[in-house]
């Protein structure tokens, strides 16, 4: 069990366009809040490059300049001539990085809402947690001190590696039992969130094997993701942050979202060809062993559209359900069924349901990267 400190991870892009960030003052402020952080001097184009590097390293996404501006609309530093020289305080750069990662869906909270120290101070004022927090803080300082001593022997914190926080867990369990372990686990999640968002930490929740273009969520039909089965985890995280992007995502990737949800729920999924697939986008088997040997449990028709889904669609889907001997049909849509379509299903006894926008949002929340959901790396 390890905690990656806020500094010392050489693989993190802690630089501004190839120039090392002056970590001395920055690291002092991590230990002693209130100490002024260093200032970085760079051109505007170098700032763009640095933010792009952090998006790629931490979130696994490649962004254009226009996309960076769109996700950081209040960042005045991004407006103006490329060659203009800027003086950006490290705390401001850290804020930009954290806000960008929040916008990309890889952090659960915006900057400043979940720092480890603030959480500890809040807990201290909770009568039910005060005693537990005392033990947690005591073990935290003890663990930090041991790591600092080990770092000095190894020539500095850059060579010390991650902090072993197992003794913290053991101390909490020994003094407070399950209550102690639960609080420790909660604090560990806060630490992980903080380190993932930090510009001077090499920790990231997922070791991305490539950098995926954000634009491909909207323009590419590929459904063979590097991190996922039918839809890449990075796009799921992004969509969970920006529900409105469901309306603009590529139609094939929209089918992939439905396939990803059922696959992670333990169903066996067969995606149609996408084009000329006869109107059935997904065939789903509740029992994976029945795939190919028994009729599908569910036939899925996906409709990414603003208009409500009409009765023609449900009639056609029911014809497929009946023909293939499936148990039910499901319309997955960013809108909703028309009242007429709903009446047809009731009047004719069609076993057809709809997964409408609120359901899609609940799927996205369930599929998020650890910290808020589940993720099974491919």
Q: What is the DSSP string of 273-290?
A: -SSSSTT--EEEESSGGG
Q: What is the DSSP string of 75-94?
A: -GGGSS-TT-EEEEEHHHHH
Where do the structural domains in the chain lie, given as residue ranges?
1-214, 218-367
**Rounded CA gap, 216 and 212, in Å?**
8
More confident residue, 354 or 22: 354
Burial class (CB in 10 A: 0-12, 13-18, 19+), 209: exposed
Residue 100 has pLDDT above 50, yes or no: yes
Question: Closest Cα to residue 280, out of 319, 334, 228, 244?
Answer: 319
Lowest mean pLDDT among 109-118, 195-204, 239-248: 109-118
**Amino acid 199: pLDDT:** 85
CA distances from 303 to 80, 148, 156, 246 (A): 42, 57, 57, 11
Q: Token digits for 20?
A: 């090392």
In the predicted model, is pLDDT for residue 310 greater than 50? yes
Question: With bands split at pLDDT 50, 70 and 90, how would you rate the model's confidence at 13?
Answer: very low
Lowest pLDDT segment from 173-182, 333-342, 369-378: 369-378
pLDDT of residue 348: 96
pLDDT score of 33: 39
- Choice among 153-167, 306-320, 324-338 with the minimum mean pLDDT: 153-167
The pair of three-digit structure tokens given for residue 46, joined into one six-digit string = 């170098």
Mean pLDDT for the chain?
85
Report the share of the chain in percent with pLDDT over 70: 85
The region of weakest confidence among 84-88, 185-189, 342-346 is 185-189
Lowest mean pLDDT segment, chosen from 17-21, 116-120, 319-323, 365-369 = 17-21
Contact by Cβ (8 Å): 249, 217: yes
- Whether residue 362 is predicted with pLDDT greater than 50 in this model: the reply is yes
Question: CA angle, corner 200, sides to 195 and 201, nearest 5?
Answer: 40
Q: What is the CATH number of domain 218-367?
A: 3.40.1350.10
pTM of the predicted model as reported, rounded to 2 decimal places: 0.83
Structure tokens at 31: 């230990």
Q: What is the per-residue pLDDT for 156? A: 56
pLDDT at 1: 52
Tell me the mean pLDDT in the region 68-93: 94
CB atoms within 10 A of CB 80: 10
Rounded Cα distance, 57 and 201, in Å: 11
Task: Report d(CA 29, CA 43) in Å as an integer.
Answer: 25
Q: Please write the tens of the pLDDT for every residue from 129-170.
A: 889 989 988 888 888 888 778 777 776 544 556 677 888 899
Q: Where are the alpha helices (DSSP H) in 265-338?
A: 311-324
Any residues with CB less than 8 A from the CB of 251 and at least 6 apart, and which?
221, 302, 304
């Amino acid at each position: 069990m390890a905690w990656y400190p806020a500094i010392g991870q050489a693989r993190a892009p802690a630089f501004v366009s190839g120039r090392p960030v002056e970590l001395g003052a920055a690291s002092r402020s991590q230990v002693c809040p209130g100490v002024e952080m260093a200032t970085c001097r760079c051109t505007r184009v170098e700032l763009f490059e640095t933010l792009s590097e952090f998006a790629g390293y931490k979130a696994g996404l490649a962004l254009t300049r226009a996309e960076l501006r769109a996700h950081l609309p209040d960042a005045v530093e991004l407006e103006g001539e490329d060659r203009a020289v800027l003086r950006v305080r490290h705390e401001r750069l850290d804020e930009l990085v954290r806000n960008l990662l929040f916008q990309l869906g890889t952090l659960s909270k915006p900057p400043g809402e979940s720092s480890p120290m603030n959480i500890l101070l809040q807990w201290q004022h909770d009568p039910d947690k005060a005693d537990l927090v005392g033990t947690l803080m005591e073990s935290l300082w003890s663990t930090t001190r041991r790591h600092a001593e080990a770092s000095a022997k190894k020539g500095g914190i850059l060579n010390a590696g991650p902090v072993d926080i197992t003794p913290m867990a053991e101390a909490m369990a020994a003094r407070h039992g399950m209550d102690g372990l639960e609080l420790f686990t909660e604090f560990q999640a806060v630490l992980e969130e903080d380190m993932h968002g930090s510009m001077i930490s090499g920790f990231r929740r997922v070791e991305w094997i490539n950098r995926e273009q954000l634009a491909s969520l909207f323009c590419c039909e590929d459904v063979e993701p590097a991190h996922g089965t039918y839809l890449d985890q990075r796009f799921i995280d992004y969509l969970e942050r920006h529900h409105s992007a469901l309306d603009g995502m590529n139609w094939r990737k929209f089918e992939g979202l439905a396939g990803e949800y059922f696959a992670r729920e333990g169903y066996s999924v067969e995606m149609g060809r996408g084009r000329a697939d006869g109107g059935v986008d997904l065939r789903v088997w509740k029992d994976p062993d029945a795939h190919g040997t028994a009729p599908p449990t569910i036939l899925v028709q996906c409709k990414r559209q603003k208009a409500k889904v009409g009765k023609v669609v449900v009639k056609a889907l029911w014809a497929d359900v009946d023909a293939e001997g499936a148990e039910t049909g499901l319309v997955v849509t960013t809108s909703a069924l028309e009242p007429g379509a709903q009446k047809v299903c009731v009047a004719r006894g069609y076993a057809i349901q709809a997964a409408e926008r609120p359901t899609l949002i609940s799927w996205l929340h369930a599929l998020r990267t650890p910290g808020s959901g589940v993720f099974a790396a491919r």
